[in-house]
Each structure stands twice: as C-alpha cells, then as structure tokens.
Structure 1
Amino acid sequence: MKKTRLLAALLLVLTAAFSSCTKEDTDVDYVVGAWYSHSQFEGLARNGAVSFVLNGKAYVGLGTDGTDKFTDFWEYTPGTNTWRQRASFPGVGRYFAVGFAANGKGYVGTGYDGLNRLKDFWEFDPTANTWTQKADFGGSARYSAVAFALNDKGYVGTGYDGNYKKDFWQYDPLTDAWTQKPSFGGNKRLGAVAFVANNQGYICTGLNNGIYETDNWSYNPATETWTEHRKLEGVDTNGTGYDFSAVPRAYAVAFTIGNNAYVTLGNKDTALLSCWAYSPTDDNWYQKTDFVGSSRISAVGFALGNAGYVTLGASGSTRYDDLWTLEPDADVD
C-alpha cells in the first residue's frame, strides 16, 4: 500500500511538472520560430544596403564596407537558393538609402555618399535589367529614412537631412510624381523600420536625439490618416506577459509574413538579437526565437513566401555577408 501511495504521489508531481512546461501555462517562456543559414550574399560584405522584392525574388544592393560605397545589385532566388548579379545602380554609390517595389518595378533613392545627403530616385526594370532615373524625391535630401509600398504607390518619410524629419511623401509610378501627404503621426526620427500589414503601412522604432522611440503608427492610404497603436513599453497584461520595452531599437530590420510583421536586430545602447512579431489583428507583440547569427545593425530584411530573410549588416568594423531565414511558426528543440 505504501508503494502504491508513493507511486501515485510521484505521478502527481511529474504531471504537474509536465503541465508547467506547456505552451498554454507558460506563454511568456514558450517562444517559436526557427532560423536557418542559407547561401551567402555573393557580393562583398557591407551594411546600410537596400532591398526590395519583385516576382518572388529579392534584390539587394548599395551599402558600404566602411570605406567604399557600392553600386552593385544582386538578385536572390529562394527556390534554388542562389544569387545572380544584375545591372549596377547608375547613381553614385551610397548607404542608408530606401527601396520599395511598386507597379512591377523596383525603386531606390535618397541616402548618403559619405559627403552628401541625396534625393535622386531610380527605377529598376527586372525584365529589361535596366535602371532609369525618375523624378527626385519630393522632400529634402536625406538618409536613414523609411519606405513602403501600398496599392502600387511608394511612400517615403522620416530620416535625417541635418535635422530629424517626420514629413511623408507618396510616389506614383504612373505619373512619376511625388505628393506630400499628412506628416507621420509620431515624433521625428531616423533608423526606424517600416512594414505593411492589414493593407496599411506601419512605422515604429528609431532614434530621435538620443531617445529610442516607443510609439507604433499605421497609415491608411484611403483616408490619409495616421493611427497610434500599442506603445512599445511596459509588460503586457493581456496574456503574453512579455516586456514590450525590449522592442524599441534603431537600425533594425522588418518584414511581413502573412498578416504579421517581424522586427529583429538593431541596437538599443547595445546590439540586439531579439525578434518580435506584431499582430495588427489584436495590436499585440509576440516574442520569437532570437536571431542565431552575429548581432548587427543596418542589415536588410525581406520576406519571400512564408519565410523572412536577413542578410548583411555591421558590428563595429566587421561587415557581414551571411544570409538567414526565419520560419516563424517552427518549433525549436
């Protein structure tokens, strides 16, 4: 009888211990998302590059190795995990530019060439493999701005032109014209991230006069209005238990998979590896598995299919050329 009671007690302890490790009971400790290494970027290692996605392929170029400012551009095909060099960018080499894809073409502009802030803009035709100069950016010459595309129009805002900026501009590829829109709803900043989710453009994170910004705003192109969402501060009390004050940073990367956005890398006084997913459905942030490569800033990120990609970047004087993918719903052992 004593042995039976002892076994029963032991089973109860084991059951309780197992239950405490389930996803439902320890949401704050249960983190999913797996990172995998892929074919290295074929150009030279660099930071401050740009990227855009067209027809299921990613295009990556520009940037700096700390000395040279690059003009080369490369195409990545996820199905074969291969890189192919494409026509070089015809403008001056630069870093901290912006890029987006709209109406079947890629667009690149603004940035810094080491001496001058820039405002020229260029269009890339992937079929013809050619670049064409377009109308200059409508705002002031600047670098470290953000960009996204919605409904085949591009949007560019924030950045630094000698002062921190929060103006916001729309580019129409059909008319090759820039139109100023209502200014970004948050504070001025540089080194922020932008992404598209739920058919709206979002801008968050970034740095303003030494302050890491904690606001998150979305832009509705139909109404031309900005809406503020959950602040990136404090501990969430609606179920996750995560400390959202770990999300703010500068010079991070962002990409969208499905209807969720992902923010990773960057720095907040020190280099960061953490990765966060934002759900516009419940206006909540969810922690994902930390990036498994080296910590870095000024990398590039993009999404292809159901995976996010991160490549390039810098840590001090070290530049990177590795490529990593995130499968956001994969379990990590």
Structure 2
Amino acid sequence: MTRSEKISRYGARSAGVFSFRSESALIKDQEYFVKAFVRTENLTVVGTTVRFHSKGSLPPEISAFDPTIANWGDTLTLKGERFSARENQVFLGEIEGEVVSQSDSLLKVVVPFEKNEERVKLMVKTIGQEAISRDDFIYRKPVVDAFDPGHGAFGDTITISGSHFLNTESLKVTFNGQEAKILEASWQKLRVQAPGEANQKNLQLCVSANGLAGCSQDLFIVDPPVIERLSQQEVKIGENLVIDGRGFNPLPNNNVVLFGQQSITPWNASSSRLEVGIPDGVYDSRDVTVGLQTAEQEHIFGSRIRIMNIWLNKGSIPDHGIFSGVAFSFSHGQYGFCGIASDNQITTYRYNPAANRWLKTGTFPGTFRFEMTAFVIGDDAYVGGFNGTQDFWKYDILNNTWEQVADFPLPNMGMTSFAVNGNGYVVCTVSKSSNFWEYDVEADSWVKLSDFVQKDRFQGSVDLGFSYGSKGYLLASSGPSKADEFWEYDPSIRRWKQLASQMNLQTYGKRSFFIIKNEFYLMPDSYNEYLCKYNFSDNKWFIVSRVEGREDGLCFTVEDATYIGGGHNYGKALKDFWEYNPHP
C-alpha cells in the first residue's frame, strides 16, 4: 500500500455492528488494506485486516471559502467534502498556494506572493480528482485615498495615503505609467519622488502590487517651468548657456530649450538648472527670445539674448529652382530688393530684415537677362544692362511700379554703376571704348564721358562699382598682372584717381561688396577665399577672414548689416542667405 488514510468516525456506540462508507481519497484500481478499530477510554481493539481493490472516489467539492477578498500572504479557509486528510493541492488560478492545514472537509492555504490575475477560481486537487469553486477569489488591490502636495515639480517628494500597500519588491508607484522612486513604504503610507520620465502636465498616480493597481481619482499637476536667470546676455553659436529657474525636468531629453525658432535639448539638467549649447541654424533676428518647453508647458524668459556671431544664417533666398540666378539687387531705407531670373522671367522681391521675410512684389517688365546693374537715386532705382540689351528701367520703390526710361546708347555685355549727387554713372565692364556714361535723371538722357582707361587693357575688365560720399569707385582687373586696380572718380572735376590695388587677387566674376561704417568690404569669387576690406582714411587693404567665395550673388546693406546670398561657386548654385555684421 503506497498511501495511508485514517478515517475516524466520532460518536459513542454502546454495542452492535457499525460501518463507514468512504467516498474520498481512494485511487481507482489501487489495492488497499483496511482495519477497523474501536477505542475506549482504557482500551483499543483492532479488527482483522481486510484487503480490497478500490473503484475510485467521488471528486472533492468546495462548498465555501473565506475570506473572498484578501491580500497576498493572507490565509484562506476552504470548506467542503471529500478532501484528502493528507494530500491536497490548492491553486489560485494557475498558481499553487501553500496548504498549512488539511482534513477531509477543511483546508487552510496561504495566498502566494506571485503575480496573478485580479479575480481567479480556487481549485482543489485530491488524488487525481479536482474541484473548482463557484465564486471567484479576488485579490485585494492597493487603495489610494489621497496624496500631498497636489501639485509640484519633477523630483519633489509626494506622500501617498491609502491602504493595502504591500511592502514587497512587487510594490510600484507610477505617474502616468512611469515608475517613481519609493523613498519610504508602509501598509498605509508611501513617500515617493515624482519621476521626470512622466513628462506631462496632468499625471494620474497609481500604486500597484504584483501588477494589480489602485489609482487616485485626482490628478497630480506639474507646475509650469519658470526661467529666472541666464548666465549671459551676449552669446555665440556653440557657446554654453546656463539657465537657472524652477520646474525644469531633471532628465535632459525631456526639456526643449527654444532660441527664437531654433530648439535644442540641454546636455545637462536638474530641476533648477539647465546647461545648453547655443544651436546653429536660421535666426530671424540677432536678439533672440529664450524659452523652455517641458511637461506640455512653455515659458518664455522676459529678456532676450543677442547672437554675437559676425555671420548669421538667415535661411535662403527665394527658391526658383536650380536654373535660376540673381539678376540685380539694391537697398533702400529699411529694405533690400532683388530680382531672381528663371523660366524666362525676372521675379522681384522685397526683403524685410526686421522680420527676416521675403515679399514677392511682381515681375521685371524688361528683357529677360542675368547680371544686371542697379543704382538708386532718391526713391527710385534704375536697372538695366547685360546680354546685348539696351533697355533701361526706373523702379518707383515707394509705389512698386516700373517705367521704361531712355535706352542705353549701345548694346552691352555687362555694366556696373554708381550714383553721385543725383546722377547715375555706368561703366561697360568689357568695352574698350565708349565705356563710361552719365545718366541725367531730369533730362532722362545719357551723356558720354571720357572712357575709363586702365594701365593695361589686355584681358582687363571692370568688376564692380559703387559710391561713397560724393565720389564713385571701381574695382577692375588689370589682366596679366592679376591685380585688382581700385579707382576713384570725382564727378565735380570729372577725373579718375588710382588708389591702392587689392592684394593681387585677380577678379573672375561679379563679386559681392558692401560698405559698413566707412569701410569697404569685398567678398572673394570662386577661386579665392579671403574676405577683404579697404580703409578709405589710409588707402589700405586688409584681410578680414576666410569665407566661401561666390559670384553673381545678391548683396545689399540695411543700416549696419549686410545681407548676402545666392549666386554660384565653381558652377554650384547657391541658395543660402546670410547677415554679415562686423560689429554685432
């Protein structure tokens, strides 16, 4: 016999035959040996051993269990029939509990600490037979009654009141599903830190044990961030800026620092300090707002920082595709103007530096061409030249209208110009004769002047012209000597004067140039890389810095800043657009 069950029948008997019917704990086809016995106060009498083959038992039956709702580690009492007096297994769902007391009608089992479903059936297995409870056993979830404070910042300590906070490794506190650090735990109280991972404004707080959670009805509100102080007011791109305040997220990636329209995540963060590099990119203005986004909230600091880089990225010129180019550009008042040539049409634009915005103003009505010249007299711009054309046009800047004026006397393959004392002056850039003309605005006529002559005309050409004060200036290539000759023209005496040549850098194409604070700046072409400047007071050239060269780009100056963009470099079309300010 491999198993032994002792069945006792209680109650006194005076005499006669007695019997007992066993319906449980018997294995089918198992051979059993049984002895009857009678015990009195003073004597035990054992009957003869009887052998029989079992036909099996009826299955056990669970009639009730208590309590029906309990915590992990609590003891359940199961009542029923046909349990085994020695060998019973009790399962809560699929997880087996520890049986601590058993009889054929009563079992006691400890609720196991393993993770389980919230509602499960109880099952008793007894020698190949099983019984399943009619009712569900329910695990008691943690209950969150309140928490304090009701609002705060990431990293703040929150006290949670409630019940059934099972203090085991399975205990977790979450804010919108993000786990918080538990500082202190008891059955009815928890102290936790609001996690930075829960980067939202309204947070639901939940306490869970073995995967079963109880959640607060109220929401924890994350306070908005506030920037209180910046480490400096003048910065350069790439430099580090320290931001002090409150309500920051201690996780760097959950903060977004705004510099105007640029955004970047800080490289270091705490709840009261951020460290961030000034990002590269397009800036509408040098005076930039500083803001912070975190937890679905945004704060903009009251003071601005100033970007002190000499070159500032302003984005791009109006895009007309790869087969386009700048036809002309000039400035007037607070705006810059240009024409973009593409698809047999020249589209005109006005640029507002204060807002970094381009406004399409119309189309140039004259013959389609590139590399035109433009000079401004009063509130009118005069535009023309290039590609064998003669038509010339006046643009009324204030009213945005075009009017054709007197044709240029000769077809030309390029020209440069300047305006002095209310008259325009044009130099044909590649002509060896009849190459210098004056435009009389009042008479709307062209007057031929004495030719502009260089020392060596062979392969020489005029690259650019401009006015400064009451005089005009030209920069011209001398050909084989590879020097940029610099010339000054005085209209009052109609005489040219040669100034210091520009450092043996040969001209190739139409370069960008500008005047800021009484200094003339010259951008390089595709074959050179130095930005140079000329000082009028001492007639000297200086190298300023290395820059990318460009030809046939737009260039205009508004107040003390110059705007440069477009053109090409080694045949590569350029669409970039920059502000240059040597004194930002």
Sort the TM-score into its range (normalised by shorter chain): 0.7 to 0.9
Q: Is the 8 A contact 2:332 2:558 kept in 1?
A: no
Return the letter of the residue paired with 1:169. Answer: W
Distance 1:310 1:37 in 2: 10
Between the aligned partners of 2:497 and 2:467, the Cα distance in structure 1 is 14
Whether the 8 Å contact between 1:146 and 1:194 is mirrored in structure 2 is yes
Structure 1 residue 146: Cα displacement: 0.8
Residue in 1 that maps onto 2:348: 73
Distance 1:53 1:159, change over 3 A: same
- Which residue is 1:150 aligned to? 420
Structure 1 partner of 2:536:
280
Q: Distance in 2 between matches of 1:179 and 1:153?
A: 11
| 1:287, distance to aligned residue in structure 2 (A) | 1.5
SS in 2 for 1:49: strand
C-alpha RMSD of matched pairs (Å): 2.4
Q: Could you tell me which residue of structure 2 aligns to residue 95 of structure 1?
A: 370
Alignment correspondent of 1:304: 558
Shift of 1:39: 3.6
Matches within 5 A, 1:1-333: 34-44=310-320, 46-63=324-341, 68-112=343-387, 117-138=388-409, 140-160=410-430, 163-164=431-432, 167-186=435-454, 188=457, 189-190=460-461, 192-206=463-477, 208=479, 212-232=482-502, 244-246=503-505, 248-267=507-526, 270=527, 272-291=528-547, 294-329=548-583
Q: Deviations over 1:125-183 (max 9, x none)?
A: 12221111100113x211332111112221110323xx555721111222211112222
The amino acid that maps onto 1:251 is: K
Q: Structure 1 residues 98 and 253 mapped into 2: Cα distance closer, same or farther (>3 Å)?
A: same
**1:219 match: secondary structure:** strand
Inter-CA distance 296–178: structure 2 relative to 1 (3 Å threshold): same
Deviation, 1:70, is 3.4
Gaps of 5+ in 2: 1-307
Would the aligned equivalents of 1:159 and 1:166 in 2 still touch at CA under 8 Å?
A: no
Q: Is the 8 A contact 2:510 2:552 kept in 1?
A: yes
Whose Rg is larger?
A: 2
**How many residues were matched structurally?**
272
Letter in 2 for 1:124: Y
**% identity of equivalent residues:** 24
How far residue 69 of structure 1 moved from its aligned partner, in angstroms, is: 4.1
Alpha carbons 1:60, 1:73 under 8 Å: kept: yes
User: Residue 7 of structure 1 aligns with which residue?
Assistant: none
Contact 1:134 1:176 in 2 (8 A): yes
Distance 1:295 1:70, change over 3 A: farther
Task: Give the conservation status (yes or no) of the 8 Å contact 2:523–2:549.
Answer: no
Amino acid at match of 1:132: E
CA distance in 2, matches of 1:274, 1:35: 14
Take 2:444 and 2:514, find their aligned partners in 1: how far apart are those partners? 26
Q: Distance in 1 between matches of 2:567 and 2:390?
A: 23
- Given the superposition, is the C-alpha separation of residues 222 and 299 from structure 1 closer, same or farther in structure 2, using an over 3 Å criterion? same
Q: Is the 8 A contact 1:197 1:261 kept in 2?
A: no
Higher helix share: 1
SS at match of 1:71: strand
CA pair 286-317 structure 1, distance change in 2 beyond 3 A: closer
Q: 1:165 to 1:52 in 2, by over 3 A?
A: farther
The answer to which structure, 1 or 2, has the higher relative contact order (CA under 8 A, 6+ apart) is 1
Contact 1:144–1:190 (CA under 8 A) maintained in structure 2: no
Aligned residue for 2:562, secondary structure, equals: strand
* 1:218 Cα deviation after fit: 0.4
Query: C-alpha deviations, 1:231-261, integer Å up to 9, x for none?
Result: 23xxxxxxxxxxx224755321111123211
Whole-angstrom distance in 1 between the partners of 2:546 and 2:506: 12
Counterpart amino acid of 1:38? K
The answer on whether the counterparts of 1:274 and 1:288 sit within 8 Å (CA) in structure 2 is yes
CA separation in 2, counterparts of 1:207 and 1:36?
34
* Conserved 8 A contact 1:87-1:130: no
Change (3 A) 1:192 1:247: same
Specify the code of the residue in structure 1 equivalent to 2:332.
L
Number of the residue aligned with 2:12: none
1:107 to partner: Cα distance: 1.0
Letter of the aligned partner of 1:59 in structure 2? F
Matched letter for residue 314 of structure 2: H
**5+ residue gaps, structure 1:** 1-31, 233-243
CA–CA distance in 1 between the matches of 2:481 and 2:498?
A: 18
Q: Match for 1:95: what amino acid?
A: F
Letter paired with 2:579: T
User: Contact 1:198–1:259 at 8 Å: present in 2 too?
Assistant: no
Letter in 2 for 1:53: S
Structure 2 CA distance for partners of 1:250 and 1:191, relative to 1, 3 Å: farther
Q: Secondary structure at the match of 2:504?
A: helix
2:408 corresponds to which letter in structure 1?
F
Deviations 1:281-302 (A, max 9, x none): 10011221233xx532221222
1:43 and 1:74 in contact (8 A); partners too: no
1:193 counterpart letter in structure 2: L
Letter in 2 for 1:216: F
